[in-house]
Amino acid sequence: MKKKPKKPSIPLLKRKLDKAFSEFIRRRDEPNGCITCGVRKPWKEMHCGHWLSRSYTAIRWNEANCWGQCPQCNVFCHGKPDEFWLAMEKKIGRGTMDILLALRLKPYKLMRSDLLELIEIYTQKIKALP
């Protein structure tokens, strides 16, 4: 009797999605540099900075919440929240920021199929970048 292949775990799929999403954000924003200080580095040297914490699952993989950020700002300066706020107002506007603030508190549970679909979407988005 042939064994069924083991399905990847939800935590493994979330890690894969984090990796693909982060790469997409960093590549997308490479030409513009760090959202908070403007320094430009190759995408591999940048971080995927979250305006609102990635602990809020409902907006963890929301492109409007995530921007390329240099390690200095993201880690050593704790995300530079004041500068991030001002940059977000310019990039997406206060209305979209208010939507993100409201969305972050919504219950959000991804199924295995949702995670697989998002991984594929971000894999394709990476390939479509110049």
pTM exceeds 0.85, yes or no: yes
pLDDT confidence tier of residue 4, bands split at 50, 70 and 90: confident
pLDDT confidence tier of residue 5, bands split at 50, 70 and 90: confident
Give strand pairing partners of 50: 66
Question: Mapping DSSP to helix (H, G, I), strand (E, B) and coil, where does residue 94 land?
Answer: helix
Q: What is the pLDDT of residues 12-65, one digit of tens each?
A: 999 999 999 999 999 999 999 999 999 999 999 999 999 999 999 999 999 999
Q: What is the pLDDT of residues 77-104, one digit of tens each?
A: 999 999 999 999 999 999 999 999 999 9
pLDDT confidence tier of residue 1, bands split at 50, 70 and 90: low
Per-domain boundaries in the chain: 28-106
Report the pLDDT value the prediction gives residue 64, as an integer from 0 to 100: 98
Q: Please state the rounded mean pLDDT for residues 112-121.
A: 97
pLDDT confidence tier of residue 3, bands split at 50, 70 and 90: confident
Phi first, then psi: what are they for 125, rounded to 5°? -65, -35
